[in-house]
Chain A
Amino acid sequence: MNPEFIESNAGVRSQGGIKWQQPQSFFIENDHHLQNMFTSGINIVKPDPGMDDSWAGLDAGAYGYQLGCGDHMFLHGNLTSVSVSPRKRKADKGQTLQVVSEKEKKIKRCSDGDSKITRQNSSNNNSNSNNSSKDKSKVSKVQKPDYIHVRARRGQATDSHSLAERVRREKISDRMKFLQDLVPGCNKITGKAGMLDEIINYVQSLQKQVEFLSMKLATVNPELDFNIDNAFTREMFESSTSEFPALACSSTNSAYFDQLNSLDQVVSYSGLDMGINSSEMGLRRSISAPVSVPEAFMDSSCFNQIQPTATWDADLQNLYKVEFEQGTLIPFQSHQFTGSNEASNLKMET
Chain B
Amino acid sequence: MSPPQQPSSTNPNSLKIRLTHRFLHNLNNLNKKRSNLDNTQIHQRYNRVKLAAYASMAHVVGSRRAWSRAILWKIRNRKVSTRHKRVDHKPTNHHHARSIKRRTTNHSNPKREYVDPNGNSGQEVKLRKLVPGVETMDACGLLDETADYIKCLATQVEVMRNLVDLFSTI
Contact = CB atoms under 8 A, between A and B. Distances in A.
Interface of A: 168, 171-172, 175-176, 178-179, 182-183, 193, 196-197, 199-200, 202-204, 206-207, 209-211, 213-228, 230, 233-234, 236-239, 253, 256, 260, 263, 277-279, 281-282, 284-285, 287-289, 291, 294-297
Contacts of A171: 140
A204 B157 CA distance: 13
Contact of B149 (A203, A234, A256): A203
A17 B52 CA distance: 82
B143 A214 contact: no
Given A222-B31, A284-B169, A285-B169, A168 B140 contact: yes
B57 to A, nearest CB: 9
A323 B124 CA distance: 31
Interface string B12-47: 010011001100100110010001110100100110
Nearest to B168: A285
B35 A222 contact: yes
A218 B42 contact: yes
B157 A224 contact: no
A279 to B, nearest CB: 6
A269 B65 CA distance: 44
Best-buried of A197, A206, A224, A233 by chain B (most CB within 10 Å): A233
Contacts of A227: 24, 28
B167 A220 contact: yes
Contacts of A238: 1-3
Contacts of A279: 158, 161-162
Contact of B162 (A172, A199, A278, A297): A278
A219 B43 CA distance: 10
A279 B165 CA distance: 10
Interface in B122-158: 123-124, 126-127, 130-131, 139-140, 143-144, 146-147, 149-151, 153-154, 156-158
